[in-house]
Amino acid sequence: MQPKSNIVHLPVYQPGKPIEEVKRELGLTEVIKLASNENPFGCSEHAKQAIVAELDNTSLYPDGGAVALTQTLAEHLGVNSDQLIFGAGSDEVILMIARAFLVKGDETVMADETFPQYKHNAEIEHATIVEVPLKDGKHDLPAMLAKVNERTKIVWICNPNNPTGTIVTREELDEFLSKVPPHVLVILDEAYCEYINDPSYPDGVDYVKQYKNVIALRTFSKIYGLASLRIGYGIGHPEIIRYVNQVREPFNTTRYAQAAARASIQDMAFITSCRERNEEGLQYLKEQFGRLGLSYFKPYGNFVMVDVKQPSQAVFDGLLRRGIIARARWTYYPTHIRITVGSREQNEKFIQALEQVLRELAV
């Protein structure tokens, strides 16, 4: 038996190590996972109640069209219902976009390093991947524009970029979009947008209204704290969203996810509080990195990529032995680790552990 030739070389996704596994392997009782940019403050209490309220409907298929959630979110964002599509995480929306638009021979442009799912799904569709190195940890939009030609189908912009945390500004994006030809679909992945207060950060919804060829992607996995439920969405022009809907599986988001997402949108106090606590956490980490003489990419989301000036694998291992799970091993950033902003206590434990590890490695 032979699978599609273009998937033979694909790796199986390597997630951040699960907490239970690390505890078992290293004989630790307390482990802090700062590897997957999850919300350290959990999720809204309203969301939990909404999940419980759905329990009795467990035997019934969900509403495939997510009508109630669509309505609530459309109002919240100020867009029309036919401009939204939901997926099992925005990961699935990425998959559906690739499935709907890419065929063998199409070109698709993305940054290197960036979120791996763009490349992964484009490879499954046998598209030609065109990667453009980051410049100082930022998307190099002029260089990406220069790679666009008549075969280009999709350009992926991760804003803020995962793993570096940097943003493209409104001005940079305006310049880029004014020059991208209309046959090219531009994906703005805004998984962390709710964390950002900076006036130079472009709001994808504004761009969707202005450009038919733009889709913004968002998720309930990050600031909303619903990662386990798997729900995210795309915002775009009705015609483009319709194409993506045509490849969607009938019941791709669950009742619990839809209900919890809906309740979360109606509990903005929780989101505001998470944004503020994240801001404090970022402030603390930046101060501490400064004290330790470590440079970092200017962070905008709920994670920081910091140059630990040692092989990242060694620092990762040292942190792991102290019960902290980080992320490391990027091709172009051999001495950087990516760390999620945790609770105050978690951040302090991380800095303490990092300081010990770096001291150990220095001798």
| Contact positions vs ligand PLP (CB under 6 A) | 37, 89-91, 115, 158, 162, 189, 191, 219, 221-222, 227, 232
Which residues on adjacent β-strands are paired with residue 214?
Answer: 186
State the minimum distance, in angstroms, from the CB of residue 56 to ligand PLP. Answer: 27
State the minimum distance, in angstroms, from the CB of residue 242 to ligand PLP. Answer: 21
State the minimum distance, in angstroms, from the CB of residue 190 to ligand PLP. Answer: 8
State the minimum distance, in angstroms, from the CB of residue 120 to ligand PLP. Answer: 12
Nearer to ligand PLP, 117 or 288 (CB): 117
Nearer to ligand PLP, 195 or 350 (CB): 195
Nearer to ligand PLP, 158 or 325 (CB): 158
Nearer to ligand PLP, 191 or 351 (CB): 191
State the minimum distance, in angstroms, from the CB of residue 226 to ligand PLP. Answer: 9
Tokens for 201?
A: 């950060």
Residue nearest to ligand PLP (CB): 89
Give the separation between CA 132 and CA 139, rounded to whole angstroms. Answer: 8
State the minimum distance, in angstroms, from the CB of residue 335 to ligand PLP. Answer: 22
Whole-number Cα distances in Å, 12 to 4, 9, 17, 46, 85: 15, 10, 14, 35, 27
Nearer to ligand PLP, 87 or 323 (CB): 87
Give the separation between CA 321 and CA 341, rounded to whole angstroms. Answer: 19
Nearer to ligand PLP, 36 or 343 (CB): 36
